[in-house]
């Protein structure tokens, strides 16, 4: 069942307590500057509830409503804030405003899914520990290899590139996160590596909002897609990439794996991206949230994929969609009791 978003402002009264708990996890302190960034497409009850929650914590909170256009005027406000709560209808992850704010040590928290999804995937200590364990494994590696039963065989290089651990909370300076999520990922060297990426039936094409129904073959060389073969969905992907008229649209952006055991593969959007032991790969722009990344273009597309095997150097991370490292495995129901006081349930999501 797809959740319907409430339209009345009174809906915000039911969210203040959960958002206050989330801001506490984001280490909001009295007197800190909290900026709520919105645009005409933002959910108004989210902004109102976050404002109420920040006031309860004694923060100096303010809201900016920016039109859907270049955001030159707000860059300085992002840089000066201690925490930005980004509720805008368009993502900022891969752009210069994000890069500038991270360099200024702003904490940045992205929100963009319905309430039930946030309740169901409220951040937990158990998730954070598994994400950080995966980040540690990836940090010192210089090479990553990915295979799948469908024929994927990819190698990427990451020397000098820090991995990113995403666990739904922005709790340290210069950190970006998105609620809900749970991932370990890295922007590898953009002009090296390749092989073949095979999208198998059941994998997901995030921007196209489609599950794959037949094999799609994306051949790669020197960090970019050089050919796309297959049936109808391959032709759709060709058209999607071609519309940007940019070679960098085909370039590797980031790659990693999901960590969220509570995610539901059948709910399109963030659930697919953070799904436990999926392989997540993306192409296009990657400057912003990834330090050292170099690609800036006007496109970004993600492919969450099931049943892959993954190595960082000689460390075996997962085999056919199952973690083989004990520190990455799900630790059981006792680990998912959330800070809101109970295990979360619910249905409905959309990409954030």
**Residues in CB range of 103: below 8 A, 6 or more apart:** 174
93 and 30 fall within a common domain? yes
Asked if residue 154 is part of any domain, the answer here is yes
Asked if residue 352 is part of any domain, the answer here is no
113 and 131 fall within a common domain? no
Q: What is the DSSP letter of 275?
A: B
Q: Are 115 and 286 in contact (CB under 8 A)?
A: no
Would you state the pLDDT for residue 348?
31
278 and 301 fall within a common domain? yes
* Residues 226-281 pLDDT 10s: 999 999 999 999 999 999 999 999 999 999 999 999 999 999 999 999 999 999 99
Give the angle 221-322-337 at the CA atoms, nearest 5°: 120
Q: What total number of domains does the chain contain?
A: 2
State phi, psi for 42 to the nearest 5 degrees.
Answer: -75, 155
28 and 138 fall within a common domain? no
- Cβ neighbours of 218 (radius 10 Å): 25
If pLDDT is split at 50, 70 and 90, which confidence band does 5 have? Answer: low
186 and 248 fall within a common domain? yes
Would you state the pLDDT for residue 37?
97
Would you state the pLDDT for residue 3?
54
Where residue 223 falls (left for φ over 0; alpha for ψ -120 to 50; beta otherwise) is left
271 and 307 fall within a common domain? yes
* Residues 283-309 pLDDT 10s: 999 999 998 999 999 999 999 999 999
If pLDDT is split at 50, 70 and 90, which confidence band does 68 have? Answer: confident
Would you state the pLDDT for residue 69?
83
Task: Quote the CA–CA distance of 314 and 316 in Å, as a whole number.
Answer: 6
Domain that holds residue 189: 125-167+180-336
Asked if residue 299 is part of any domain, the answer here is yes
Asked if residue 141 is part of any domain, the answer here is yes
Task: Quote the CA–CA distance of 349 and 352 in Å, as a whole number.
Answer: 9
100 and 141 fall within a common domain? no
Mean pLDDT of 340-351: 33
Helices and strands (DSSP H and E) totals, the chain: 8, 20
Edge-to-edge strands, sheet with 252-258: 164-166, 183-186, 252-258, 279-284, 300-305
Output Rg (C-alpha) for the chain, integer angstroms.
Answer: 19
309 and 331 fall within a common domain? yes
Q: Are 217 and 196 in contact (CB under 8 A)?
A: yes
The yes-or-no verdict on residue 35 having pLDDT over 80 is: yes
199 and 329 fall within a common domain? yes
* Residues 109-131 pLDDT 10s: 999 898 999 999 999 999 999 99
Give the helix ranges, DSSP H, for the chain.
Answer: 16-25, 44-56, 75-80, 96-103, 115-120, 125-139, 232-242, 270-274
Task: Quote the CA–CA distance of 161 and 144 in Å, as a whole number.
Answer: 12
Distance of CA 148 to the CA centre of its chain: 22
Q: Which pTM does this prediction carry?
A: 0.91
312 and 188 fall within a common domain? yes
Would you state the pLDDT for residue 119?
94
Task: Quote the CA–CA distance of 181 and 127 in Å, as a whole number.
Answer: 9
The CATH number of the domain holding residue 95 is 3.40.50.2300
If pLDDT is split at 50, 70 and 90, which confidence band does 174 have? Answer: very high
């Amino acid at each position: 069942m797809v959740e319907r978003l409430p339209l009345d402002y009174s809906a915000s009264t039911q969210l203040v307590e959960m958002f206050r708990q989330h801001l506490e996890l984001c280490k909001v302190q009295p007197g800190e500057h909290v900026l709520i960034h919105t645009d005409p497409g933002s959910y108004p009850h989210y902004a109102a509830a976050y404002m109420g929650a920040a006031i309860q914590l004694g923060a100096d909170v303010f809201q900016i409503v920016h039109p859907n256009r270049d955001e030159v005027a707000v860059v300085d406000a992002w840089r000066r804030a201690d925490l930005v709560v980004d509720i805008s209808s368009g993502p900022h992850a891969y752009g210069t405003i994000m890069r500038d704010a991270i360099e200024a040590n702003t904490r940045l928290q992205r929100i963009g899914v319905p309430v039930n999804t946030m309740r169901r995937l409220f951040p937990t200590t158990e998730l954070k520990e598994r994400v950080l364990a995966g980040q540690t494994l990836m940090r010192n590696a210089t090479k990553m290899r990915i295979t799948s039963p469908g024929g994927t065989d990819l190698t990427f290089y990451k020397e000098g590139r820090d991995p990113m651990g995403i666990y739904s909370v922005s709790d340290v300076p210069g950190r970006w996160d998105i609620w809900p999520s749970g991932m370990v990922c890295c922007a590898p060297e953009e002009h090296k590596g390749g092989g073949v990426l095979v999208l198998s039936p059941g994998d997901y094409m995030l921007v196209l909002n489609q599950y794959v129904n037949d094999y799609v073959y994306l051949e790669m060389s020197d960090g970019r897609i050089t050919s796309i073969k297959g049936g109808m969905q391959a032709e759709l992907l060709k058209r999607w990439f071609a519309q940007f008229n940019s070679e960098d649209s085909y370039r590797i952006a980031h790659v990693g794996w999901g960590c969220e055991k509570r995610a539901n593969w059948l709910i399109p959007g963030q659930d697919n991206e953070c799904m436990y032991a999926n392989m997540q790969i993306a192409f296009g722009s990657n400057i912003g949230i990834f330090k050292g990344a170099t690609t800036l273009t006007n496109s970004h597309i993600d492919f969450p994929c099931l049943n892959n095997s993954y190595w960082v150097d000689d460390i075996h991370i997962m085999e056919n969609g199952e973690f083989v490292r004990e520190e990455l495995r799900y630790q059981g129901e006792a680990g998912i009791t959330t800070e809101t006081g109970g295990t979360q349930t619910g249905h409905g999501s959309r990409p954030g």
